[in-house]
Amino acid sequence: MFDRIYYMRAVLGVIGGVVAGLVIVPGTDQGTIIGIVILIGMFFYLLSYVISKKIGRTVQKPQRRKLATNGIFPFIFLLLMFMIFIYTGLHQSLAR
Arithmetic mean of pLDDT, 4-18: 93
Q: Cα(6)–Cα(53) distance, rounded to whole angstroms? A: 13
Inform me whether the pLDDT recorded for 92 exceeds 70.
Answer: yes
Arithmetic mean of pLDDT, 12-39: 93
If one compares 56 and 30, the residue with the highest pLDDT of the two is 30
Distance between start and end Cα atoms, the chain: 48
**Residue 1's pLDDT is what?**
80
Q: Considering the entire predicted model, what is its pTM?
A: 0.85
Q: What is the pLDDT of residues 61-90, one digit of tens each?
A: 778 777 888 889 999 999 999 999 999 999
